[in-house]
């Protein structure tokens, strides 16, 4: 009996030993072939990000499940063959892989990041040992290039590095698994991008851009910067650019700046009336300098026509009545002398005269030379001029219906009304005629500026053209700004490349297409100046 008991105990002990050795063996295989050692690669944790959607719920950006592929080359039977096969399956560089496989200091080698299920299937078909797939996420942008600089991109670890992906990072992280509704209206964005690209191609411009914004909420409905890039690719193609010229570049924008010169004149009552006549002549001397016109002007112009026909000489005379110190104070109060702070991380500091802000600086600044600002800065400041005179800051988050984000009063409401009437007159009787869209009562101002070159000189025959527009101008709801960098005249424009021929038609096409979508009624209420 005791012998039988001893035999059973021996059998049970043997079974337990076999089981223990089997478990140890399985664990060894698991550690050797599938898992990293303590001294090896640490697990990568990729934080999830919320979807970005436009104001109507259309998807703009989403995390897609992907995997990072690592290899343990110590278990490969042929490292050269493994490098060749993995490179073919994943698109990785074969020489990099082989170099990593032959480096004994690193037990794990990163083969490829963010591989798709299709690529994973190809890798699995190779039957190689020592491979590990680390789950992660890849940001996907279904609209590709559309709004690329505006939305921005993430890095391989799913952290925002530019655009709204970086600027809204906190909201995107806090809403992981949910969605963040932006102010963008992709219908507007598509139209804006299409018209800007058409104009850029027509006039062979180096670059171009546009912005559409609500003047009461500050919501940016569309922002385009060309050339652009494909955010779904991790490399740029020929001619691509990640730079958002509307936010992070500054330009001398020329005569569109006359909006602020006339606003100052109305605020300071330095104009007797819009009927007041100014001598224009062939040039206006200030010390050793002479102010010239971009185009031929009559010998005299009334104040209203100084803005409508965009006279540099007339605007200079009006600005000098207020003087340089007052001009600087006024522009600073409007926010033109400091960077605009938005949810976009891309920003630019304006360039303007320093301590020596004398008569010639006052004159040139009055018509947009000698001062450089970002297009987004000019657009938001001009929006404050027409929205009743109240400060407005661009936002990229959708606001509740009926929201009014206008802040402190920058100029008198009466001044804002006067400027709206005058900007309407520019479109009906001046350089903005091509934006006079029946029924939508557009008001606006053109800008055609010389392009600064090296050594403080302007490039010959090079222009930067722009157009600021508000509609419907008697009670503005939206503003549009279009910029074209060095457009060229065409046969249809008689060789002219001024804003009236380049930027104005592009803005007009945008307004005509987006106004019905945005519910702007097609009715014209004549302003006082336009009816005269």
Separation of alpha carbons 21 and 29, rounded Å: 12
Q: Pick the catalytic residue: 92, 162, 225, 255?
A: 255
Do residues 82 and 101 lie in contact, with contact meaning Cβ atoms separated by under 8 Å? yes
In DSSP terms, 62 is beta-bridged to 140
The DSSP bridge pattern shows strands 51-53 and 179-181 to be parallel
Catalytic annotation on 255? Answer: yes
Q: How far apart, in whole angstroms, are the C-alpha atoms of residue 307 and residue 298?
A: 14
Going by C-alpha positions, the residue among 44, 40, 43, 34 that lies closest to residue 107 is: 40
Name the residue among 383, 379, 389 with its Cα closest to residue 411.
389
Degrees, nearest 5: CA angle 452-455-458: 30
CA dihedral 201, 202, 207, 212 (to 10 degrees): -100
What CA–CA distance (Å, rounded) separates 100 from 79?
10
Rg (CA), the chain: 32
Residues 172/254, Cβ–Cβ less than 8 Å? no
The whole-angstrom separation of Cα 183 and Cα 340 is 18
> Do 359 and 381 contact (CB within 8 A), yes or no?
no
Measure the CA–CA gap between 15 and 3, rounded to whole angstroms: 18
**HSE-CB for 489 with a 13 A CA cutoff:** 12
Active-site residue list = 255
């Amino acid at each position: 009996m005791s012998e039988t008991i001893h035999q059973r105990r021996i059998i049970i002990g043997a079974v337990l030993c076999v089981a223990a050795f089997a478990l140890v063996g399985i664990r060894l295989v698991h550690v050797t072939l599938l898992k990293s050692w303590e001294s090896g690669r640490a697990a990568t944790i990729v934080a999830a990000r919320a979807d970005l959607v436009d104001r109507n719920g259309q998807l703009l950006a989403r995390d897609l499940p992907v995997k990072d592929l690592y290899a343990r080359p110590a278990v490969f039977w042929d490292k050269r063959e493994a490098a060749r096969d993995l490179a073919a399956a994943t698109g990785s560089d074969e020489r990099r892989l082989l170099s990593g496989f032959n480096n004994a200091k690193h037990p794990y080698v990163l083969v490829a990041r963010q591989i798709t299920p299709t690529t994973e299937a190809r890798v699995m078909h190779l039957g190689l040992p020592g491979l590990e797939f680390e789950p992660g996420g890849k940001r996907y942008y279904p609209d590709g290039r559309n709004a690329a600089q505006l939305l921005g991109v993430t890095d391989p670890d799913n952290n925002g590095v530019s655009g709204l992906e970086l600027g809204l990072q906190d909201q995107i992280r806090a809403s992981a698994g949910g969605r963040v509704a932006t102010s963008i209206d992709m219908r507007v964005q598509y139209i804006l991008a299409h018209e800007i690209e058409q104009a850029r191609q027509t006039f062979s411009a180096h670059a171009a851009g546009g912005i559409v914004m609500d003047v009461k909420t500050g919501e940016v409905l569309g922002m385009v910067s060309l050339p652009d890039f494909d955010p779904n690719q991790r490399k740029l193609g020929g001619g691509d650019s990640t730079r958002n010229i509307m936010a992070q570049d500054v330009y001398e924008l020329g005569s569109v700046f006359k909006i602020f010169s006339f606003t100052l004149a109305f605020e300071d009552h330095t104009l007797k009336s819009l009927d007041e006549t100014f001598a224009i002549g062939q040039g206006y001397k200030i010390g050793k300098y002479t102010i010239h016109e971009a185009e031929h002007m009559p010998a005299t112009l009334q104040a209203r026509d100084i803005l409508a026909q965009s006279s540099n000489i007339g605007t200079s005379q009006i600005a000098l009545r207020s003087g340089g110190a007052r001009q600087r104070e006024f522009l600073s109060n409007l926010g033109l002398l400091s960077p605009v702070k938005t949810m976009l991380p891309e920003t630019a500091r304006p360039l303007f005269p320093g301590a020596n802000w004398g008569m010639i600086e006052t004159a040139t600044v009055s018509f947009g030379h000698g001062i450089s600002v970002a297009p987004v800065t000019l657009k938001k400041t001009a929006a404050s001029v027409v929205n009743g005179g109240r400060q407005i800051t661009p936002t990229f988050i959708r606001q509740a219906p009926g929201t009014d984000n206008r802040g402190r009063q920058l100029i008198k409401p009466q001044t804002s009304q006067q400027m709206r009437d005058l900007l309407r007159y520019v479109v009906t009787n001046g350089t903005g005629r091509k934006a006079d869209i029946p029924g939508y009562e557009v008001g606006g101002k053109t800008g055609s500026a010389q392009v600064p070159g090296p050594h403080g000189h302007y490039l010959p025959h090079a222009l930067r053209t722009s157009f600021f527009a508000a509609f419907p101008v008697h009670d503005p709801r939206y503003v549009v700004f279009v910029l074209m960098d060095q457009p060229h005249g065409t046969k249809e424009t008689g060789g002219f490349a001024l804003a009236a021929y380049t930027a104005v038609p592009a803005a007009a096409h945008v307004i005509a297409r987006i106004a019905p979508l945005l519910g702007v009624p097609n009715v014209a209420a004549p302003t006082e100046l336009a009816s005269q």
